[in-house]
Amino acid sequence: MKRFYVMLVGLALLGAGALYLASRDRTVPGTVEGPMPAVPGDGFGGYVMGSDSAPVEVVEYSDFECPFCARFANLQMPAVRRQLIETGLVRWRFRDFPLPGHQYSRYAAHAAQCAGEQNRFWEMHDALFADHSWAQTGKNPRGLFNSMAQRVGLDMGAYAACMAANRYAARIEASRLEGEARGVGGTPTFFVNGQPFRANPTSDAFKALADSLTGR
């Protein structure tokens, strides 16, 4: 009997040790170490919101883990959408610019791209920024992102397959390289009709610039 308990305790220690080792593996798709894909993406120009015929285009280089990007998305973007995008004045283009110091940026960008595959990019974009606690805790956000994906109505099988395949890693890296080539050094960085936007990024500032560009 004593041998049985010794074996049981040994098994328990073995299981606990294995779980401990697994918990130390913090890698998730999109955060893998090593060289990034050398392929120049798939020519994708970023998700766009607004009319094709809008006279002003704003390109935003953003990082889902960046607190300033979250603040902009949560505080300024609703007014930008209402006043500028929905009125047909501005077309908004989102480009990924995951910063190297952010552990889960690429993973979040990838989650948004996988949502985009199901025509839910902006819904996932909003969810990732709205509940930004994951960016502060440093904990693996996989479970939280899965809940968000479920909440925005994704086909979870297709989402999981997309995430597991790391399908859009090259696209995200191509976007970052594009930003780097344009001189993006931090996030969020904006370009309005191709020109760097250096003012404090508020909805009012974008409106004033868009109005001046269109002669309103």
The single residue among 2, 22, 101, 183 that binds other proteins, judged by CB under 8 A, is 22
∠ CA 47-54-80, nearest 5°, is 65
The CA-atom distances, in angstroms, between 144 and each of 111, 137, 186, 204 are 11, 12, 26, 33
The single residue among 41, 141, 188, 201 that binds other proteins, judged by CB under 8 A, is 141
Supply φ then ψ for residue 201, to 5 degrees.
-75, 90
The single residue among 48, 99, 160, 213 that binds other proteins, judged by CB under 8 A, is 160
The reply to whether 25 sits near other proteins by the rule CB under 8 A is yes
Query: What is the token pair recorded at 121?
Result: 């990019």
> How many angstroms separate the CA atoms of 35 and 142, rounded?
23
Query: What is the token pair recorded at 79?
Result: 């007014």
> How many angstroms separate the CA atoms of 62 and 142, rounded?
20
The single residue among 47, 72, 159, 168 that binds other proteins, judged by CB under 8 A, is 159
The single residue among 140, 175, 189, 203 that binds other proteins, judged by CB under 8 A, is 140
Cβ distance to other proteins smaller for residue 23 or 53: 23
| Residue window 161-180: x/- pattern of binding to other proteins, with contact defined by CB under 8 A | x-xxx---------------
What residues make contact with other proteins under the rule CB under 8 A?
1, 4, 7-8, 11-12, 15-16, 18-19, 22-23, 25-29, 139-144, 146, 149-150, 156-157, 159-161, 163-165
